[in-house]
Structure 1
């Protein structure tokens, strides 16, 4: 999902988008602010919808190529993103883990 140049938004599915200028997530008419790191990670995932992004690629994207960040720290941010994006964070539909491969972002579909 590439940003719409006119309004700098990346659509994330039903009534949900990332506002790149304001750096917030709009979900169901509510403006949600994420930490800088969570926003950067979600933006990267949103720019590659449906693609499996490895855990290592997410760590490199968030913290830099030579980072010594542990996976557990990434998991904290994944949970933060899910808490904002998902209707039921413990049963994620949008931000899914593909065991042994990484994470993939699917468009949000309201029930």
Structure 2
């Protein structure tokens, strides 16, 4: 192989290796697309929403309907107080369990 032939090969070998490595990279990065945060589907089947007459309400998930109702009521009291609403008027307006 002459020096000129070696230069011809090196002119396309390096870009080819770079293209191959870039082509393989997206396959590896696809694994990181899994959920990073626990969602409601991680085990909580019931949810409830509580609202005050003024201010922000609260939505919560729980493993049982009573747990979801209690958590949403606690959230409603907390958020209504922070938003200048009426925490003592919080009521659960929706409570269901998924099947």
Q: Confirm or deny a common fold (TM above 0.5).
A: no
Q: Which has the larger helix fraction?
A: 2
The structure number with the bigger radius of gyration is 2
What is the TM-score of this pair, normalised by structure 2?
0.29
